[in-house]
Amino acid sequence: MNKKIKKAVFPVAGLGTRFLPATKASPKEMLPVVDKPLIQYCVEEAVAAGVDTMIFVTGRTKNVIMDHFDKAYELENELTIRGKTGILKMVREMMPPNVSFVFIRQPEALGLGHAVLCAKSVVGDEPFAVILADDLIANNGGHGCLSQMVEQYDQNQCSILGVERVNAHETDKYGIVKTKEISPSIGQVELIVEKPAPERAPSNLGVVGRYILTPAIFEKIETTERGAGGEIQLTDAIAALMTDERVLAYEFAGKRYDCGSKLGYLQATVEHGLMHEELKGDFLDYLKNLVLD
């Protein structure tokens, strides 16, 4: 029987140094885009894809993420007393009753591959998703990125990497894949390289923060030596996995915002403000007046 994607791993132990001093005491995953933190957008994307177990691989300063997804009795009681039923409903829906939240401490920052390996005991012998909160992906009313990838997994039953075309001069910021096209949006990965210089990149197809992986990846991570930056690279483990299993690259529909950069974060904030039901009209008027002044 084909197994379904029911678990998602969120590696959230990074230090967020590019956003200091804002991230000195608060995780970068909790930076708000309009009125929701980045990590909540990602959890909502996972829930929409049918995931019911959220596994957070955290670091020492990340307890606020745990608090965010915990029940807030005092807040809910105060909202009830004040009759703010709409806000109360929104707060409660952050934690659907059928969804479990698991938190695992990564003892040392040894890279994305190691962070994924930390979730092995909870994932078990199941396929699973990996979601990086740095990448906020808007679906513009359609299926979310992970939902699209789950559909592809259901059809193909193998590991799938979310990819998009990146600037050919910025390949050194991504894992880059070379593929054999199966259809216009999906191809079999023939080569994957971590952050190659533009002149050495096999293509401009960059792997972004969405993965579906089979449990065989754990054995590959365990035998992967430290790579770029002295870290255990997930990219290297995926390359090893390709010797045993088929790995696909999927060009998803939707717009990705690189919220690991300040410019990408600002772009996400502005464009999500323009999509926000309560704000979009007034915010658009404000931006027009700002440009005209």
Residue ranges covered by each domain of the chain: 7-260
- Give the DSSP H/E element, type plus range, for residue 78: helix 73-81
Return d(Cα 131, Cα 124) in angstroms, integer: 18
Predicted pLDDT of residue 185 = 92
Instruction: Note the pTM of the prediction, 2 decimals.
Output: 0.91
**CATH architecture of the domain with residue range 7-260:** Alpha-Beta Complex (3.90)
Return d(Cα 265, Cα 249) in angstroms, integer: 25
Percent of the chain exceeding pLDDT 70 equals: 98
Q: Which residue in 35, 45, 43, 39 sits closest to 23, CA to CA?
A: 39
Residue at 18: amino acid letter:
R
- DSSP code string of 267-291: HHHHHHHHH-TTTHHHHHHHHHHHH
Strand partners for 103: 56
Return d(Cα 278, Cα 34) in angstroms, integer: 11
* Tokens, residue 185: 């949006």
What is the pLDDT averaged over residues 98-111? 89
Strand partners for 244: none
Beta strand 135-138 pairing with 175-183: unpaired
Does the structure show a pLDDT above 70 at 135? yes
Predicted pLDDT of residue 126 = 95
Predicted pLDDT of residue 115 = 94
pLDDT in tens, 38-84: 999 999 999 999 999 999 999 876 788 888 888 878 888 888 888 88
218 pLDDT band, cuts 50/70/90, is: very high
Return d(Cα 245, Cα 118) in angstroms, integer: 22
pLDDT in tens, 191-217: 999 889 999 999 999 999 999 999 999
Of the two residues 196 and 94, the one the predictor is more confident about is 196
pLDDT in tens, 265-277: 999 999 999 999 8
Max avg pLDDT among 107-116, 140-149, 180-189, 284-293: 180-189
Residue at 171: amino acid letter:
T
pLDDT in tens, 181-192: 999 899 999 999
* Tokens, residue 12: 């959230």
